[in-house]
Structure 1
């Protein structure tokens, strides 16, 4: 029982560390580091919202380019009180 709890705690810490790597890479515009957070066949998707179409980015090369492009884009200011957030869906297979 204690060993199972330890395995679960270590897995949770690994997920927190992965989220931190993701955030640092995205925030600094480091496309290669951001793409490296994904598996080789990783996919980043954003659902369509309002007038914005859905987006699907595949492969590490495209993921890296997407991050670099986003880092160069001007940051729009939000003055109407809207809130923006990312929702993560993490799938893992214990190994």
Structure 2
């Protein structure tokens, strides 16, 4: 779920380059990042409702990005947002759990 990612579905859940760069290089606070990202997701859900339905209809979903495990990350914000829409969040998965 990144703007650089290869999964076409993931782009509907990715933060914008602008948001990523503001956070990484220009000191955007975590709270402002969270607020902006969630607004992006609300807009994405309205504009791409079919893709959101497709994601929520899956039995299992693993959200993947380039952030290190245990750090502030949009995939955790998205996981919480998806929970509000009825998904069940089961925590971070380790690579050995996926194999």
TM-score of the superposed pair, with normalisation by structure 1 = 0.27
Query: Which has the greater radius of gyration?
Result: 1
Higher relative contact order (CA 8 A, sep 6+): 2
More strand by share: 1
